[in-house]
Amino acid sequence: DGPRLGRAIRAAAETGGGIVLTGCGTSENAARGIEEVLTDALRRARVPGPAGRGPSRRPSSRQAFELALDPPARGLVVAVSHEGGTRATLDAMRAARAAGARTALITVSDRSPGAELAQFVAVTGEMDQSWCHTVGYLSPLLAGIAAGAAIRDVPVERDEIVDLLRAGLATADAAESIARQLGSVSRIVIVASGSDRPAAAELALKIEEGAQLPAVARDVETILHGHLAATDGMTGLVLLLADPVGRAERTARAIDVLRAAAEIGMPVACIVATRVAGEIDAPLTPAGRIVVPEAPGLPAPVAALVATAIPLQLLAERLARVRGLD
């Protein structure tokens, strides 16, 4: 289904109607990740806008409730809903169709309620067994990656993606060690930038719904503009940095955040790519670190989102265990 979805997205880009990704909760975070993947794919493929006038419009993502109140009158709305039954997402699809936009749905089955509202359905096929929807985050990302490969007219880089996922599975011990360090904090702040931001939002959601610990995602730059005033030694911080684009600048600014956190006495951990880990002094991450491999053969957002998908879920799950929750 990924290639068919990619062709539909490319057609929407070429006609200039715009592409909007939407969802709620985990699906919204996956939609934001897919936005990053598709933006990169359309740029790499140099997909033109209408009549060849300049590049196509960048895809956008919007929360489903807000989209239902103000739907686009043209273009393509790609909804993400794991079980295909989220009311706000279905309302957004209905509103988009009524306004004149085409609709697509990434979901587990073409027999879901949402499938009846979609003109195209991309089926992921595996029902999530986790209440926290761990498969429900990764599966639509993979569908979006397949669509992006179709837009670029290349095969999906399966081997590289599988290698990253296997490497993620190997981070369980590191995740457990960090969870023990952060299990007694009063709340957790996750900081990220670039295409790591959807993963940061997903980690915050998983910590809140799984470990039942208050958590929030902030941009690397944003947190330095006032938010640290509300933190103390009982506030945990997790840096997430795997996006290779603009890495030198992102890493330098992230180190500023870590130094500020050290002055406050915050327990800090990180999920970072190998090269980033080598540039961050160990004392700046006293709660530990999960190091994910580089994947230079993959598009930047694909590499970042796939590399962090399993580690962030493991960290949230281990935090739940440390806090005595199932």
C-alpha distances out from residue 53 to 13, 33, 41, 50, 155, Å: 12, 27, 18, 6, 28
* Nearest in space to 312 (alpha carbons), one of 133, 86, 142, 127: 133
One-letter identity of residue 324: G
Residue 286 per-residue DSSP state? T
Calpha distance 39→60 (Å, rounded): 9
78-135 pLDDT, tens digit per residue, is 999 999 999 999 999 999 999 999 999 999 999 989 999 999 999 998 888 887 888 9
Q: HSE-up of 206 (CA within 13 Å, CB side)? A: 31
C-alpha distances out from residue 308 to 5, 178, 259, Å: 24, 15, 23
C-alpha distances out from residue 167 to 95, 123, 161, 274, 295, Å: 41, 26, 10, 12, 11
Calpha distance 259→242 (Å, rounded): 19
Whole-model pTM above 0.75?
Answer: yes
Q: Which residues contact 169 (CB under 8 A, 6 or more apart)?
A: 310
The answer to whether residues 291 and 277 touch, using CB atoms and an 8 Å cutoff, is: yes
pLDDT tens digits, the chain, 326 residues: what are they?
778 899 899 989 988 889 999 999 999 999 999 999 999 999 999 988 776 666 778 899 999 999 999 999 999 999 999 999 999 999 999 999 999 999 999 999 999 899 999 999 999 988 888 878 889 999 999 999 999 999 999 999 999 999 999 999 999 999 999 999 999 999 999 999 999 999 999 999 999 999 999 999 999 999 999 999 999 999 999 999 999 999 999 999 999 999 999 999 999 999 999 999 999 999 999 999 999 999 999 999 999 999 999 999 999 999 999 999 98
Note the pLDDT of residue 56. 75
Q: HSE-up of 192 (CA within 13 Å, CB side)? A: 28
